[in-house]
A = this chain, B = another copy of it.
Amino acid sequence: MNTAIVLSGGIGSRMGADQPKQYIMVRERPIISYCLEIFEKHEEIDHIVIVADEAWQAFIEEWLKKENITKFFGFASAGRTRQHSIYNGLKVSKGCTPDEGVVIIHDAARPLVSDQIISDCLHGAAEDGGAMPVITVKDTVYFSKDGASIDQLLDRSCLYAGQAPEAFRLGEYLAIHDAVSDEEIAATVGTSQIAYKHGMKVRLVKGSERNIKITTPEDLSTFETILSE
């Protein structure tokens, strides 16, 4: 039993639009509906939990009907940080997912995730406890403490750029959130960070350059270009 948790709590301030980016219409569908369709069709996903601000839940429900999303289990409230939203999503997922089941946590604004990435994450988490898709870092990355001059060139062969979705065995991952302080949840930057910090193994699986997160107008036009291919 695997559950997709779709994070849709963002407010989209970087897009310069009024509405959160995941609700922008592309080809007459909100961006969030693209990943919902992918999870609906993926045969290893049993349920979908959506973390969203209450103000948007009626809008989402309308689209769940239009798109015939039958796996929807329920909403979780948006939290004050991304990791708080995840925690809320985990608690709701407990209602439909056993401890040994896997939750796969995705961004509503990543409409191009592939079935392969989802499967690899689910299998990786089932076997190792956690899994996340990564791509290689193309940049030459320097470390600078003060932002004024270089301290160190990092070894690119050890660097990986994290993507979503990230997958974890629900029982272990939720137990960490129950155990740590609210401040630690607030300070969590990467979804996997809190997992490996508390002893879970997080397997790296192959991500994709196409699996973009839409945060800027440029990303939006890239998405439209890829759709028209």
Contact = CB atoms under 8 A, between A and B. Distances in A.
Interface of A: 128, 132, 134, 137, 139-145, 147-151, 153-154, 156, 158-162, 189-190, 192-193, 196, 201-204
B143 A189 contact: no
Most B CB atoms within 10 A — which of A150, A154, A158, A162?
A: A150
Contacts of A140: 161-162, 189-190
A156 B201 CA distance: 22
A161 B162 CA distance: 16
Given A137-B139, A144-B160, A149 B202 contact: yes
A154 B150 CA distance: 16
A189 B147 contact: no
B204 A153 contact: no
Given A141-B161, A142-B160, 19 more contacts: A137-B137, A137-B139, A140-B189, A141-B141, A141-B159, A142-B159, A142-B161, A144-B204, A147-B158, A147-B160, A147-B204, A148-B204, A149-B196, A150-B202, A151-B196, A153-B190, A153-B193, A154-B154, A154-B159
A193 B152 CA distance: 8
A27 B190 CA distance: 43
Given A139-B137, A140-B190, A192-B150, A145 B158 contact: yes
